[in-house]
Amino acid sequence: MKTIIRIILLCFIVSYEGLSQKPFWEAGLYSFFDNTEFGHSKVQVPQTMAGVRIAPGFGVRFDSVHSITLGVNVLHEFGSNEIIGDLFPTAYYKFDNKPFKFLMGAFPRSYAVERYPRIFFQDSISYYRPNINGILLEYSLKSLLINLWLDWTSRQSYEMHEAFFMGFSGKYNVSIFYIQEFTYMFHFAGKMNPAVEEALHDNGILLTSLGINLSGKTIFDQLDFNGGWVVGLDRARADKTGWIDQNGFLSEARIEFKSVGLYNTFYVGNGQMYYYKDHNNELYWGDPIYRTKIYNRADFYIDFLKNKSVSTQLIYSLHFAEGNVYHEQALKVSINLNNIRFNH
């Protein structure tokens, strides 16, 4: 830990002195308590996830559009005897010249996939995999947002599979209406010289939906509805399965007034994640409850405090699946401080 901090400080000093440009600092804290009650479920497990993440960083901005950021993202899990549960380095270059943005290195996952539905990434991904290791290219206008990203999640070794994501998302607005697209492909190769040969897997999800956004046009602060078709794709190359597709309908609705809101998601169709029993969450990062054929989740939330620096949210969720009603309670606190005078 001391060695990493020394390297970060040294890089910061060298960058600052060599470029003689504007230095900046940032500090993030994210604490979560998430208790899921999925007793007797065949597709989910009951568990409590709780901890706090601290993410300090330093950087240098130069030539008005270029910047370099160095830092760490450290997790301590509540109840653990270990002071540090895991540690992820943050180190990336950013080019930001509207409407284009380009990042390369190890940077916060939220920069690329914050809007993705849970069928792509379940909640625990933000708790335990905070950074992307790869590339983000984004083009954003008032009516159009497009991004392409690559996340290299695992380097092949005798113990680890080679694995990476390639993703795309886009949204186009016309007045109160919009069309949006989310997709990724996950490549999951074998280990180095495995004792037992495993098929190379690819899986992907595509979601295209139409929506209407009435936020600010009624008494509600947020009023947004969308629905569309989702297709999950799987294949095992060595088994010559070809592409196996699972189709369904996914809708989202968000209603918020003052500090109180409801976020509802509904899915009906084929069960997703065809090879889950073989590779579970190594192969799939989405919520495994989407293996059911019909599922509804209702999140009731209260934002006790929400501004540019602090967010405190209490959430009570009802999960309707497998003919049962499951419960979940969560409390999340996010604090982001910095002296940056330009946009991320």
37: left (phi over 0), alpha (psi -120 to 50) or beta: beta
pLDDT level of residue 195 (50, 70, 90 thresholds): low
Look at residue 283 and tell me if it is in a domain: yes
What range defines the domain where residue 304 resides? 2-338
Residue 73 C-beta-side C-alpha neighbours within 13 Å:
21
Look at residue 120 and tell me if it is in a domain: yes
Look at residue 76 and tell me if it is in a domain: yes
Q: How far is CA 244 from CA 23, 96, 274, 276, in A?
A: 51, 39, 8, 13
pLDDT level of residue 20 (50, 70, 90 thresholds): low
When divided into structural domains, the chain yields a total of 1
DSSP assigned state of 322: T
Please state the rounded mean pLDDT for residues 235-260: 93
Count of CB atoms situated within 10 Å of the CB of 79: 8
pLDDT tens-digit series, residues 114-159: 999 999 999 999 999 999 999 999 999 999 999 999 999 998 887 7
Q: What is the DSSP string of 214-274?
A: -TTSSSSSEEEEEEEEEEEEEEETTTT---EEEEEEEEEEEEEETTEEEEEEEEEES-S-T
Residue 208 C-beta-side C-alpha neighbours within 13 Å:
2
- Return the residue matching tokens 């040969």: 197
Q: What confidence score (pLDDT) does residue 344 get?
A: 39
Q: What is the CATH number of the domain that holds 106?
A: 2.40.160
pLDDT above 90: percentage of residues in the chain? 80
Global confidence as pTM: 0.90
Using the predicted structure, report yes or no on whether residue 194 has a pLDDT greater than 80.
no
pLDDT tens-digit series, residues 259-294: 999 999 999 999 999 999 988 999 999 999 999 999
Look at residue 343 and tell me if it is in a domain: no
Q: What confidence score (pLDDT) does residue 64 get?
A: 85
pLDDT above 70: percentage of residues in the chain? 92
3 by Cβ neighbours in 10 Å (0-12 / 13-18 / 19+) ranks as: exposed
Look at residue 188 and tell me if it is in a domain: yes
Using the predicted structure, report yes or no on whether residue 18 has a pLDDT greater than 90.
no
Look at residue 344 and tell me if it is in a domain: no
Look at residue 186 and tell me if it is in a domain: yes
What would the two tokens of residue 64 be? Answer: 């008005």
What would the two tokens of residue 154 be? Answer: 């695992």
Q: Rounded CA gap, 68 and 258, in Å?
A: 37
pLDDT level of residue 2 (50, 70, 90 thresholds): low
pLDDT tens-digit series, residues 199-243: 789 999 999 999 999 998 999 999 999 999 999 999 998 788 889
DSSP assigned state of 58: E
Look at residue 275 and tell me if it is in a domain: yes
